[in-house]
Structure 1
């Protein structure tokens, strides 16, 4: 039997036997880069790149990058089969400042293949949202959208999520992010303490078939939120807005290598329940 590089038995690497490979459209992990340096970025990819699918350049941080450093991050991400893309804040600013097409062409010239379209801060008419998704797709971008507002106390409605999800996918989006910000408190599916609204998840499960909801990425910056989503949806739920240094921690949760999601005996069943 050939052991992996770490010399651990395969059953210890993934005791659940349930984890999928990278870029499999399920079990996706999206990290948020809030402006770490190139050395730390490369070290993170060397250690955890095999378990990461997307890295979002958070907020408007990309606008402040030296061009050569941004190019180096793009090259490093591609080397490790990780998709690097700019967050939705720059899109919203470009739309507000009436420089959207110039912005999109600039991103294309830099070498980005994915972009995020959101309206967490701005008012973006529904028809305009659809038009922009289609235009971005025509330019060759893979489009990730976001559903939900960023203001404290902004809760999601199941019908709004359902309508947005179906519409965005029809217009050409590949994934829709469920808003949670980097705080994960008093917004989206989370209450003021950061606890998940299980009733909302149940409504999603009831109203949106699995073949459609697999296109959702749930922002879950806090460990308890990641645990809750894994327990509810399973180990291959799509999770985003993970801090850079939590990439390995999340993968351990997914595989049952932590107490909170420890597998039941030799099966992948999670021993604890909500």
Structure 2
């Protein structure tokens, strides 16, 4: 009996016993996921203040495959990486582009979305490429990639480039006939265009390809492996395409 008490005391002193319940309950752990709910259709708040969108459906589908419990928190994009580094959240899904600079500080999942620029025009338009916009009035978000690409075609000071503060504004200008085209991130442009039966989208193969990834802390291989396994599973069984079609009104085609 005395020996058992001594062993118990030793375990408590070393923290081993305290760690046992956490280990036993690891399968029930809740993962906190950060997403900036200001980027329709990837993540945004609905009328009931719930965070919804493509990113949210994707991460929930991954969690279902991997039997992970999630709590999604609306986090400003400007502080989303600090929240991850500080341990306030376990991982991030928020339309984050995978690039070499970010990969120095964080680890990324396999790509879950193929990103690029996309042109929106009226359905009657004959525009087939970026070069066809050389003499057209084009709306872009000021300082965006879309602004850069049309500035290289028309010249940065071109009076035909109309700059606005957000994608909804450039799409509103296009719908109202104020411009001949709008250029922006493909996911957002495709979603907004799908809401207007008088608009269509035009792809230009010369636009550079980018990819969105789910972000974890550097070296968190166990979590990254689970995310990648879940992502591979939803791609394989058609769940990914179902979610993609729900938000973008078309089947997914690999780029």
Relative to the length of structure 1, the TM-score reads 0.24
The structure that has the greater radius of gyration is 2
- Looking at both structures, which has the greater relative contact order when contacts are Cα pairs under 8 Å and sequence separation is at least 6? 2
Higher share of residues assigned strand: 2
Relative to the length of structure 2, the TM-score reads 0.25
